[in-house]
Structure formats: C-alpha cells, structure tokens
C-alpha cells in the first residue's frame, strides 16, 4: 500500500526558511516523479513543484520560483522542499503527491503538513 | 490564481444526479490535455477520483463519471449519497504556464 508522510511544517517568520520532507513507502520510489501541492486555509489547491524520478527535471510554479527548491534522495525514499524567503501568502497545508507515469496527474497524496508564516 | 473555472457549489437530494463543470482554455483542456478529478472530504487530503477524463481508479464507485469536450470537462455524480459531501477539484496541464493547474473547486452539498 502506498504511503506518503509529510513532516517539517511549523511556524516561521516572514523571510525565514523551512524544509519539508515526505517519506514514501509501498512503491518503488525511484521510478516515479513526485510533486508538492499546497492549500491555503479555506482555499483551493495550488500546484507548487515537481521533480523527475532521477532528480531531473524540476519545475516550479511562478509564485515560488527562485525561492523554493525541490529535491529527492532515492536511497532514503524521501522527497524534500526547501522553502526560503517565506512570505505570509505561503501559509498553507503542503501535500506531497506521487505522479502517475505517462500522465499529468497524481494518484496518491500524503496527509499534508501545515506551514504558517507569521510574525 | 486558478485557470480552470468551476461553480463554487452544487447541491442535490439523496439519489439525485449532480454535475460539476470545469472550464479551461486553448492552453490547457483545449490543447488536448486530459482532465482529472479529485475528491477532498472535510479535513482530509485530496483523493484521485477520475483520471484521463473518464477513467475511475480501482475502488471508486461507478456513480462517478467524467467527460471532456472542447475546452471544458464535467464530473457527474449519480445516485447522490450523504458520503459524497466534499470538495471536488478538476486538474489539467497548462502549456502557457508550463505547469499543472487546478480548478477553483466545487463544494457538493447533499440536502
């Protein structure tokens, strides 16, 4: 059974940094692209970033480009999101999601981790 | 800002059929990209409901169906049940943004 477990969320001040992790199990992690999707409180879903199965390529939403970095460690079955220069509008639940090969959709999602950016 | 537009809410009595529209553009749905649908129950993570416009993952009841035409897509729920109360999101890929896009979301209420 596929399991994705996010961690690393918390309260951070504007301009600060945070690194999220997503531990994967139940599938061959190194064979699949992985993505981060976020949801601000009471709002809809917003795609953040995606990474290929081997670590390349990587793509970002314009709203986070230049501030966030997605990466992965296939030896640890773990996906990461390094978030720098955080803004109040980055406050959201961040979900990691497994990409379905050959299609532009996500077939499994984690439970999410909350990031709050506030002074 | 979402580039796929959905109605904010739809409602229906138990047993009825409701539909949710998802309107895009020539940069996404109209460009031939598939539409996928997710169900988000209150307080939980999204779950894949429909992929590739009309395909159901294993375990999704056949009460849920999807279709696509031109620059739009639709999700239909027939035989509406109380457990279907949730938020529903469409999703596709956008050539102009070079990224994945979600719909604005639709809250389904069972009367």
Q: Which residue of B has its CA nearest to A106?
A: B48
B89 and A111 in contact by Cβ < 8 A? no
B48 and A104 in contact by Cβ < 8 A? no
pLDDT tens, position by position, B89-106: 999 999 999 999 999 999
Mutate to test the interface with A, among B99, B104, B107 (most CBs of A within 10 A): B99
A45 and B92 in contact by Cβ < 8 A? no
A59 and B99 in contact by Cβ < 8 A? yes
The reported pLDDT for the residue numbered B2 is: 77
pLDDT bin (cut points 50, 70, 90) of residue A47 is very high
Q: Are the CB atoms for A18 and A112 separated by under 8 Å?
A: no
Is B104 an 8 Å CB contact of chain A? Answer: yes
pLDDT tens, position by position, A27-46: 999 999 999 999 999 999 99
**Strand stretches in B1-111, DSSP E:** 9-12, 18-23, 36-40, 47-50, 64-69, 72-77, 86-94, 99-102, 106-110
The reported pLDDT for the residue numbered B1 is: 62
pLDDT tens, position by position, A57-82: 999 999 999 999 999 999 999 999 99
- Which of B46, B98, B103 is opposite residue A59, by nearest beta carbon? B98
List the beta bridge partners of residue A11. A116
């Amino acid at each position: 059974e596929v399991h994705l477990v996010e961690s690393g969320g918390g309260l951070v001040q504007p301009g600060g940094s945070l690194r999220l992790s997503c531990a994967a199990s139940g599938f061959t992690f190194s064979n699949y692209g992985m993505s981060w999707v976020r949801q601000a409180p009471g709002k809809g879903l917003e795609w953040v970033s995606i990474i290929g199965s081997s670590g390349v390529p990587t793509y970002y939403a314009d709203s986070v480009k230049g501030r966030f970095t997605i990466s992965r460690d296939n030896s640890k079955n773990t996906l990461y999101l390094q978030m720098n220069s955080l803004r109040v509008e980055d406050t959201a639940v961040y979900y990691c999601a497994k990409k379905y090969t050959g299609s532009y959709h996500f077939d499994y999602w984690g439970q999410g981790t909350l990031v709050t950016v506030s002074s | 800002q979402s580039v796929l537009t959905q109605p904010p809410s739809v409602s229906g009595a138990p047993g009825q059929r409701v539909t949710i529209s998802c309107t895009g553009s020539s940069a996404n749905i109209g460009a031939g990209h598939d539409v996928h649908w997710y169900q988000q129950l209150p307080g939980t993570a999204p779950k894949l409901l429909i992929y590739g416009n009309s395909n159901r993952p294993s375990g999704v009841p056949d009460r849920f169906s999807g279709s696509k035409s031109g620059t739009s897509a639709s999700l239909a729920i027939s035989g509406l049940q109380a457990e279907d109360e949730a938020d529903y999101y469409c999703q596709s890929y956008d050539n102009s943004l070079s990224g994945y896009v979600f719909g604005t979301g639709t809250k389904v209420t069972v009367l």
